[in-house]
Amino acid sequence: MYAYGLENNPYPSSPTPTEKDAKILGGKRHKEAKSAIVECMKELNGKVQGRDSVDNDFRVVTVIQDVGSGKTHLALHIKNLKGYYNAECSFVDLSTISPKTISSIYNAIIKGFDNDFFIQLRAKFLAYIRERAEQGDNSAKKAINYTVINRLTGLTIKEKVDDIISGKEHISDENLKQFLVQRFNYHESALIKSVVTNSFENIQNLEELLGMISAISKFAHRFLGKITLLEIDEFDGNKDSIEFVKGMINSHIPACTLLLISTPSGYAEVQNTNPSVFDRLEKANYKIDLVGSNSKDELAEIAVEYIKHNDKHGKLGSKTEEELIDKIQALYEEFPEFRSVRSIINILYHAMEKSEELGLDKIDENVIDDAIKQTYPGLKVRGSIMDVPISDFIAIRKICNESSSEKDLKEAVHNLANLVHEMGGICKLEKQNLALDAVYQDSFGAKVGVAIITNLNNSNNLDRISNISKSAVVDKLVILTSQKIPSPYNATVVNVDKSKMIDLIYFNNKYNGKRIAESDNARAGILAKTLCII
């Protein structure tokens, strides 16, 4: 059993999204983008229903954002929804095609459709030929090899076609060709022949590609009553890719939507390579920028959505969800490595595996730490003097924002001064002023007082500093604070940012637990220097 009572790991293991993974979609920006694309498809579908499609029944949609922002995931999610807006969809990842030629792009488009699409088309094409044959069309009978012997033996035309559909009988290629050229244009005939014989031939140029795509869209609409969606991922400045897109836009493929997915750098390449195509894309029916999809709130929502989708028994309570969100946002804020959908999902996949291995009921800091050590070996908390482990960092980070943290910091500074005293760096003195948190004599014999002030009320802090500076009888006064406060004439103000707070509390936990190792002494000494305790 996995964390949160899940029967399976909800997160995908592959860094590249699959259609199965993409059934789940979280994040406000992604959901807004989904709504826009679905609205486009539904509008086009409603427009062409009950009539022949025309040149104006063509749409262009662009989706642009950085690598790892969930663009591919969104496109595959939209493909999963094709039944919702009555469409057939082909997804093509241009980054997997090498070399990118007109022929290879066409082959990828054909493979990008579900097999069921061509199975349905084949049945419709054969049904059309059967109807013509039943009406006495001799060329249609020849196309399906329906002979006099068949008729004399009692085999009906319908049974003959059923045998062709099931693979028991074969169609006549040459006779089929003769039948088709009388009723369809060259590319339409070629497509029907390819679909009926389950054999797609290579194309030679852009004109053939556009002709075949137009035929696919036309027949999907005519025989299946569906519109066509072509999703082209990783679109950039490649000349053949640009020529294909330019041809699609100029041809206005009827009952079709072209959805182009690119990064800002790839989009800039298009502008530099072919300004006229870039201009056409700037006038797209829908321009979707997933900016903000990598914000900490978005990533947290996306991550939680995977668990909610698989939480069959309602084990993810609001408190548990909030704890998980805190951990995800901690990773986001402190580690640039975890500021994309892809990286967060990856680390949570491994954390889930660890939780299952250890029998944990939720993802905690330790399994996240283990997952990071496994997938990002060598990754450390930036700016940490005490070399705080990531698990402790996530746990301590939360209390740094709480009012109780000042008490913890006061104790930490007191103990840090004790350790430096034990190491011979200073001479610890008894406190005579309750406002001071530590008093000692430095190596020059000067009497130094240290006070921690982290109260969130800025004006109150100034009053406290003023009172301390007036009452403290020391040669040097050090004020440690988390806020930017002007230094009074007789005090040194040291800014204690979150990183130093975490170092102090981590040190204090080890000191109180008598777990200070020899290697910690040197780090503690450096920490003390940064806080002007030495």
Q: Based on the fold, state whether residues 138 and 97 are members of the same structural domain.
A: no
pLDDT of residue 149 exceeding 80, the answer is yes
What's the CA gap between 529 and 213, in Å, rounded?
Answer: 70
Q: Are residues 146 and 95 in the same domain?
A: no
- Is residue 238 predicted with pLDDT exceeding 70? yes
Position 471 scores a pLDDT of 75
C-alpha to C-alpha distance for 246 and 32, rounded to whole angstroms: 28
Q: What is the pLDDT of residue 403?
A: 58
| pLDDT score of 390 more than 70 | yes
Range(s) of the domain holding residue 138: 119-197
Q: What is the pLDDT of residues 62-79, one digit of tens each?
A: 999 998 888 999 999 999
Where is the domain boundary, 169, 197, 225?
A: 197
pLDDT band at 262 (very low <50, low <70, confident <90, very high): very high
**DSSP at 486:** P
pLDDT band for 404, please (50, 70, 90 cuts).
low
Looking at the fold, whether 256 and 363 belong to one and the same domain comes out as: no
Express each pLDDT in 491-523 by its tens digit: 888 888 888 999 999 999 999 999 999 889 999
35 domain residue, yes or no = yes
Cis peptide before 99 (omega within 30 of 0): yes
The answer to whether position 213 is within a domain reads: yes
Q: Does 400 fall in a domain?
A: no
In whole angstroms, give the CA distance from residue 339 to residue 216.
40
Per the domain annotation, does 70 fall within a domain? yes
> Does residue 106 share a domain with residue 30?
yes
Quick one: what percent of the chain has pLDDT higher than 90? 60
Q: Which two structure tokens, joined as six digits, stand for 26?
A: 């979280």
Catalogue the E-assigned strands of 403-489: 427-428, 438-441, 447-453, 476-481
Tell me the average pLDDT across 266-292. 94
Q: Provide the pLDDT confidence category of residue 488 given band limits of 50, 70 and 90.
A: low
Is residue 385 included in any domain, yes or no? no
**Where a domain ends, among 197, 215, 242?**
197
Other beta carbons within 10 Å of 311: 16
> Based on the domain organization, do 96 and 214 belong to the same domain?
yes
In a 13 Å sphere around the CA of 224, the CA atoms on its Cβ side amount to: 23
Contact predicate 520/492, CB 8 Å? no
User: Is 80 exceeded by the pLDDT of residue 457?
Assistant: no
Integer CA distances (angstroms), 72 to 184, 232, 261, 266, 440, in order: 36, 10, 8, 15, 61
> For position 259, which CATH number holds?
3.40.50.300
Q: Which residues of 16-37 are buried (b: 16+ CB within 10 A; e: fewer)?
A: ebeeebbebbbbebbbebbebb
Q: Are residues 150 and 89 in the same domain?
A: no
Instruction: Answer yes or no: is 517 within a domain.
Output: yes
pLDDT band at 454 (very low <50, low <70, confident <90, very high): confident
Q: What is the CATH number of the domain that holds 323?
A: 1.10.8
Residue 438 · residue 533 · CB < 8 Å: yes
CA 72 to chain centre: 8
Question: How many angstroms from the chain centroid is the CA of residue 130?
Answer: 48
Bridge partners, residue 87, by sequence:
227
pLDDT at 124 over 60: yes
Asked if 281 and 340 sit in the same domain, the reply is: no
Find out whether 113 and 229 touch, Cβ atoms under 8 Å: no
Say if residue 467 is in the same domain as residue 343: no
| Contact partners, residue 324, CB within 8 Å, separation at least 6 | 300, 303, 304, 307, 362, 363
- The pLDDT tens digits for 77-100 are 999 998 888 999 999 999 999 999
How many separate domains does the chain show?
4
Please indicate, yes or no, whether residues 94 and 216 belong to a single structural domain of this protein.
yes
How many beta carbons lie within 10 A of that of residue 353, not counting itself?
19
Neighbours of 46 (CB within 10 A): 12
Using CA atoms, how far apart are residues 373 and 496, in angstroms rounded to an integer?
A: 28
Residues 92, 216 within the same domain: yes
What is the mean pLDDT of the segment spanning 188-207? 92
Q: Is 228 helix (H, G, I), strand (E, B) or coil?
A: strand
Mean pLDDT of the chain: 90
Higher-confidence position of 347 and 402: 347
CATH of the domain at 511: 3.40.1350
In angstroms and rounded to an integer, the radius of gyration of the C-alpha atoms of the chain is 34
pTM of the predicted structure, to 2 decimals: 0.81
Q: Is the pLDDT of residue 455 over 70?
A: no
**In this model, does residue 456 exceed pLDDT 60?**
no
| Residues 413, 499 share a domain | yes
- ∠ at Cα 68 (88, 231), nearest 5°? 15
Q: What is the largest CA-CA distance in the chain?
A: 121
Q: Which pair of tokens denotes residue 172?
A: 């006549």
- Residue 524 is predicted with a pLDDT of 93
Contact 502, 410 (CB under 8 A): no
The predicted-structure confidence for 332-380, as pLDDT tens digits, reads as follows 988 999 998 889 999 999 999 999 999 999 999 999 999 999 999 988 8
- Whether residue 144 contacts residue 151, with contact meaning beta carbons closer than 8 Å, is answered with no
